[in-house]
Amino acid sequence: MKLSIIMPVFNEAKTIREIIAKVMAVPLEKELVIVDDCSTDETAKILKGEYDGKIENIKVFYHEKNKGKAAAIKTGIPHTTGEIISIQDGDLETDPNDFIALTEPIRKGEASVVYGSRYLNPKEAHLYFSYQLGGRILSQTVNLLYGQHITDEPTCYKVFKAETLKSIKLEYDRFEFCPEVTAKVSKLGYKIKELPMNYYPRTFDEGKKVNWKDGVKALWVLFKFRFVN
């Protein structure tokens, strides 16, 4: 089963080469679908000069204006050809080698949705207590509202059977992707399987983009799809 990795990127010139190299080194059959969300640094220039149309199994697409992470993911989904789809950020906070274990339950037919959990890793590392607390609040909200048993709702590493993700109509464009897709797979009856993942957090000075306002929006999205939509 081929793994399609969607990588939404925005202003990741400092890390884009290294993370692409790490992804392509993972010993799995795969393709990488990169969507540049109208970066204002050198990211698009690097992609056009070194990767776009130049490396097998790498596809690159560009937004003419900044739309958001979820919008970039939505752009990438139709261009995937693998039986499994995963999300990969353009920074170095995660280890693409974790895809080996995270895709295994789907390959074995044991799950359709697998999340990597930073909290199941005994080496769990968070720079900001507020992020750790916010993640746990979101996870508990999902468990209460949707009957799941997860520990890391906002995890970057979300892995799906391709037909599962492609069956979902995503509405939001920015960081609401995580709560929206979690709510919708839950309402479709899928149980989310979690496995440990590695995590190397970066600071705001290093390019971290999510803030507390995104956490509030995420809570609203979870309640909205449970009681309104």
Question: What pLDDT, on the 0 to 100 scale, is given for residue 202?
Answer: 61
Q: Could you give the percent of the chain with pLDDT greater than 90?
A: 84
Tell me the residue range of the domain where 147 lies.
3-227
pLDDT tens track for 16-40 = 999 999 999 999 999 999 999 999 9
Q: Are 176 and 69 in contact (CB under 8 A)?
A: no
Q: How many domains are contained in the chain?
A: 1
Q: Are 182 and 102 in contact (CB under 8 A)?
A: no
pTM of the model: 0.92
Which CATH number does the domain housing residue 22 bear? 3.90.550.10
Coil, helix or strand for 38?
Answer: coil
DSSP string, 142-197: HHHHH----S-TT-S-EEEEHHHHHTS-----STTHHHHHHHHHHHTTPPPEEEE-
